Structures are given as C-alpha cells and as structure tokens.
Amino acid sequence: MRVFIDDLQETINKNFDKDYELALPNEPKEVDSFIQQYITKMFSIKINDKNVTYHYLGKEYESDMAFIYIEVENVTSIQSIEIRDEMLFDMFPDQKNIIKLFINDTKKTFFLTVDKQSDLLTL
C-alpha cells in the first residue's frame, strides 16, 4: 500500500487520539501497532468467498510516501478475490483508493470510493 505520510499521520493521530509526527528518526515504536490496527479495521480481503487473514509486515518511508506491507500466506488457487478498502475515507470523504491486481495473467484495477468500498474479481 502507498499512502501519503501526512494523510497517514493525520489519520493515526485522530483515530488513536495521538500527536505523532511520522517519518522522523525518533518515531515511537507503537506507531506500527496503530497502523496495523487501522488497516485491520479498514481493509479486508476475501479469496474464493472466504475472509483471509493477512499479516502486517511493516512500513517504509520514501520522500512523502509511506509504503505499508501486508502478506497473505498459503493461497493455493484463486477463483475470486474481493477487496474492501475503506482506508482514509473516515478522514477524507473524497478519497479514492486504487487497487491493482495481477493474478494468473489477469490484470484488474479497482477504483474504490466512500460510495463503493469493495470490488470483486472473478477468474
């Protein structure tokens, strides 16, 4: 996931009643925990009509972007994948989230908004 650092900072601070400044050398270690909690609440994946658990691996900062890494393990085949992504909608009602998938030679891009928070790709 790619998120502007200032948007992520504002979202974490508001949702968890904090006053953090992200991407600084002295960033509190608990920021990762709050990012993980926020993602778990706002982002979900279904594969073959079953909710899957993903693992938050961490984040990196580059320029004005935060790169957030998650991983889904033990997927043997995909007939369908549904993504629900409400991230940042609580802070920015005009937010548009772009999901790009490349599965089994099939490319699909989802454009998610506050009015359409999920989409499904059937293979």
Question: What are 9-48's pLDDT values in tens digits?
Answer: 999 999 999 999 999 999 999 999 999 999 999 999 999 9
Residue 105 has pLDDT above 90, yes or no: no
Q: Quick one: pLDDT at residue 22? A: 96
Using 50, 70 and 90 to split pLDDT, how confident is the model at 106? confident
E strands present in the chain: 2-4, 43-47, 50-52, 54-62, 65-72, 80-85, 97-103, 106-112, 118-122
Domain ranges of the chain: 2-122
Residues contacting residue 84 through CB under 8 Å, at least 6 positions apart = 43, 44, 45, 46, 117, 118
Residue 102 has pLDDT above 90, yes or no: no
